[in-house]
């Protein structure tokens, strides 16, 4: 089928749209959600003649900078009134959900519903401690919230750890994004602390493979590919992660990975990560479903609706 014929076929179908405003996350795409509402309302109500414009051209024609800015200004207003952010489980976040729900209800004929689900919260009771032993020489590394000076930083949703002895290290080949990488590690990762370089796949993928190969803890380090990829960074392994984990600077990660490659170095680490015991937190999720259309031809558009605690998240758009 030609590209033109394919577009005509799409425009001739009755489209059903579900818009899900996914709550948990960092990047905000609510403005795009708003654009999608406008364009698919047009598609749903437009003529189905062969001369109908494609969904892509309708979307492009519907974008108005001033309308984008109206949404962004409202997000900023909400953040400013709520300690500068719209983070999950805060009043600013809940007001963001109210704004999205009300905007959908007023401007569309969508069936709008709120769903709630529990998520883990994360916090530390004290600064983590990381100590290495290489050839019998112990070294303690620097933890700091100033990432430019830190040797390592915590990873959100890490579990607690308190190693009484040094646990052997194993360096995962390449960037630890495939089963082959983990199977080729020497020594094998089972029961070891795995150290793996940043790159290619998501951090959560590295975490999932680490759990699959039964590591005791996971150390991810920056790749040093550019000046802004040397220091440790703040990441999360996700709600499904149940491993002790830390993020290291490139120099520290390279030092430990190189040491682990030579078994005669007896390279190992001790970790102390004191994690707060926090209750699950209910988080809102907004779904907006077109009242008509073919349920077998459903388009789902998802978006985040929160910011990080450090700011309003407006620049993410």
Q: What is the pLDDT of residue 51?
A: 56
Is the domain of 113 the same as that of 224?
A: no
Q: Is residue 269 part of a domain?
A: yes
What are the 10-residue block averages of pLDDT along the chain, 317 residues in total? Answer: 38 45 38 48 48 66 85 93 90 92 91 88 94 96 96 95 96 95 95 95 94 96 94 89 95 96 94 92 88 86 82 75
Q: What is the pLDDT of residue 11?
A: 38
C-alpha radius of gyration, the chain, whole number: 24
Is the domain of 269 the same as that of 284?
A: no
What is the domain range of residue 169? 129-273
Is the domain of 153 the same as that of 90?
A: no
Is the domain of 10 the same as that of 74?
A: yes
Cα 242 from chain centroid? 16
Q: How many domains is the chain partitioned into structurally?
A: 2
Q: Are 305 and 28 in contact (CB under 8 A)?
A: yes
Tokens of residue 153, six digits: 């930083």
Q: Is residue 204 part of a domain?
A: yes
Is the domain of 53 the same as that of 158?
A: no
Is the domain of 139 the same as that of 264?
A: yes
Pairing type for strands 245-248 and 217-221 reads parallel
Is the domain of 301 the same as that of 256?
A: no
Q: CATH number of the domain at 138, please.
A: 3.50.30.30
Is the domain of 288 the same as that of 242?
A: no
Q: What is the pLDDT of residue 175?
A: 94
Is the domain of 80 the same as that of 172?
A: no
Q: Is residue 249 part of a domain?
A: yes
Is the domain of 112 the same as that of 139?
A: no
Q: What is the pLDDT of residue 65?
A: 87
Q: Is residue 115 part of a domain?
A: yes
Q: What is the pTM of this model?
A: 0.70
Neighbours of 185 (CB within 10 A): 21
Q: What is the pLDDT of residue 7?
A: 38
Q: Is residue 124 part of a domain?
A: no
Q: Is residue 222 part of a domain?
A: yes
Is the domain of 189 the same as that of 103?
A: no
Q: What is the pLDDT of residue 9?
A: 37
Is the domain of 146 the same as that of 249?
A: yes
């Amino acid at each position: 089928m030609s590209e033109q014929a394919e577009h005509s076929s799409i425009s001739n179908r009755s489209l059903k749209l579900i818009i899900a405003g996914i709550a948990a996350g960092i990047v905000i795409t609510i403005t795009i959600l708003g654009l999608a509402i406008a364009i698919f309302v047009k598609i749903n109500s437009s003529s189905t003649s062969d001369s109908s414009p494609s969904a892509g051209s309708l979307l492009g024609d519907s974008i108005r900078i001033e309308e984008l800015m109206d949404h962004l200004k409202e997000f900023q207003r909400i953040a400013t009134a709520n300690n500068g952010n719209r983070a999950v489980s805060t009043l600013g976040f809940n007001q963001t959900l109210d704004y999205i729900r009300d905007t959908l209800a007023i401007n569309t004929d969508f069936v709008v519903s709120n769903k709630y689900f529990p998520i883990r919260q994360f916090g530390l009771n004290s600064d983590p401690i990381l100590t290495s032993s290489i050839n019998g020489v112990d070294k303690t590394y620097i933890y700091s919230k100033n990432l430019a000076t830190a040797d390592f930083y915590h990873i959100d949703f890490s579990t607690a750890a308190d190693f009484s002895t040094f646990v052997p290290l194993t360096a995962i080949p390449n960037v630890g994004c495939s089963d082959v990488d983990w199977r080729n590690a020497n020594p094998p990762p089972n029961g070891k602390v795995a150290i793996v370089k940043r790159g290619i796949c998501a951090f959560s993928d590295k975490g999932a493979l680490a759990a699959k190969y039964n590591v005791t803890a996971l150390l991810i380090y920056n790749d040093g590919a550019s000046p802004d990829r040397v220091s440790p960074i703040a990441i999360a392994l996700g709600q499904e992660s149940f491993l002790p984990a830390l993020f290291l600077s490139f120099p520290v990660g390279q030092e430990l990975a190189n040491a682990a490659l030579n078994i005669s170095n007896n390279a190992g680490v001790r970790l102390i990560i004191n994690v707060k015991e926090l209750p699950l937190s209910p988080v809102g999720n907004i779904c907006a479903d077109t009242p008509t259309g073919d349920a077998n031809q459903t388009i789902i558009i998802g978006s985040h609706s929160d910011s990080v605690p450090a700011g309003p998240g407006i620049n993410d758009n």
